[in-house]
């Protein structure tokens, strides 16, 4: 469904991604793991047309979307939950959610979001900037779902959350996948992310160094040592 082929990205003269290839099939949860500075966020922003002059191909349902403006990519039912959430702080929760449906009419999506995150229904008249970190993350995920995407990319959804909230957020990710959503999960909480994933990739210094089924990666000695502290 989403295939990245030989992607190279540079900032000025500094190359950040080197021949990165990655595939996410329909119905899968694929986790991308890597340490800080490995190039994960660059990869995500390149998928969404936020980096200039990358080379390679990014195929969404066999169409090359590399070079398309961000709004065209979102219209193709690929959505992002960004690392910094990128909410509209002086707009209400409801307005944030409605903007999530900017590219299509939201219909049942709002009910679905409120069912997933009942707290957002209670707080719908409140400005997004006044929510707690966990509630903001729920809003970011809910807003992304409002676009009725077929595939979503979650960039570090557990960042800055308490263990209880991490469990809740990643549990929601698992539930969304069970409901049919295809997911690319970029996550530093490696164990929990791989537990809910079908496959995984390891990105180190801008290169994919390892890939395989999530179960296999969870028991990989190198990954255990580098990312699981074992």
Partner 1 sequence: MDGTIGILSQVAFWGLYSGCIYILLATGLNLIFGVMKIVNFAHGEFLMLGTYITFFLFVISGFNPYILLIGSIPILIIVGVIVERLCFRPILGTGKLNEIFISLGLIYIFQNLVALIWTDEWRSMRSPYADILINLGPIQLPLDYLIIITVTAMILVSLYIFLQKTTLGRAIRAASQNRKGAMLMGVNVEKVDMLTFGIGAGLAGAAGTLWAVSGQVFNPYMGSIPAIKGFAIIILGGLGSIPGAIIGGLAIGMVENFTAFTLGGSWKDAVSFILLIVVLVIRPTGLFGEAEE
Q: Where are the alpha helices (H) located in the chain, listed in sequence order?
A: 40-47, 70-75, 93-100, 109-116, 118-122, 133-145, 163-178, 190-195, 214-218, 221-227
Choice between 48 and 227, CB closer to partner 1: 48
User: Measuring CA to CA, which residue among 213, 131, 184 is closest to residue 23?
Assistant: 184
Specify the stretch interacting with partner 1 by CB under 8 A; choose among 20-28, 54-62, 96-104, 218-226: 96-104
Tokens of 205: 């210094």
The footprint of partner 1 on residues 103-162 (CB under 8 A) is 103, 143, 147
Residue among 34, 39, 54, 100 that touches partner 1 (CB under 8 A): 100
Distance, CA of 197 to CA of 96 (rounded, Å): 29
Single residue of 82, 134, 200, 206 touching partner 1 by CB under 8 A: 82
One of 8, 59, 98, 121 touching partner 1 (CB under 8 A): 98
Nearer Cβ to partner 1 (133/171): 133
List the interface residues with partner 1, window 58-77 (CB under 8 A). Answer: 69-71, 74-75
Between 7 and 101, CB nearer to partner 1:
101
Q: Exactly one of 67, 89, 107, 163 binds partner 1 (CB under 8 A); which one? A: 89
- 91 touches partner 1 (CB under 8 A): yes
Sorted by sequence, the CB contacts under 8 Å of residue 65 that are 6+ apart come out as 47, 49, 58, 59, 72, 73, 76, 78
Q: What are phi and psi of 121, to 5 degrees?
A: -65, -40
The upper half-sphere exposure of residue 21, i.e. CA atoms within 13 Å in the direction of its Cβ, equals 3
Residues that bind partner 1 (CB under 8 A): 48, 50, 69-71, 74-75, 79-80, 82, 86-91, 95, 98-100, 102-103, 143, 147
């Amino acid at each position: 469904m989403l295939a990245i082929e030989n992607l190279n990205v540079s900032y000025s003269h500094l190359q950040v991604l080197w021949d990165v290839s990655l595939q996410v099939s329909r119905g899968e949860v694929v986790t991308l793991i890597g340490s800080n500075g490995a190039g994960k966020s660059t990869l995500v922003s390149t998928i969404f047309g936020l980096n200039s002059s990358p080379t390679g191909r990014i195929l969404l349902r066999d169409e090359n979307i590399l070079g398309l403006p961000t709004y065209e990519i979102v219209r193709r039912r690929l959505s992002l939950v960004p690392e910094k959430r990128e909410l509209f702080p002086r707009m209400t929760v409801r307005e944030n959610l409605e903007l999530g449906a900017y590219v299509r009419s939201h219909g049942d999506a709002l009910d679905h979001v409120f069912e997933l995150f009942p707290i957002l229904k209670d707080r719908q008249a409140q400005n997004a900037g006044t929510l707690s970190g966990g509630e903001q993350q729920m809003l970011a995920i809910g807003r992304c779902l409002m676009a009725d995407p077929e595939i979503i990319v979650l960039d570090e959804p557990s960042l800055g959350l308490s263990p209880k909230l991490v469990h809740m957020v990643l549990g929601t990710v698992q539930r969304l996948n069970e409901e049919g959503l295809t997911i690319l999960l970029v996550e530093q909480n490696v164990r929990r992310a791989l537990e809910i994933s079908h496959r995984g990739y390891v990105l180190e210094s801008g290169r994919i160094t390892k890939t395989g089924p999530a179960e296999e990666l969870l028991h990989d000695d190198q990954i255990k040592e580098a990312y699981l502290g074992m």
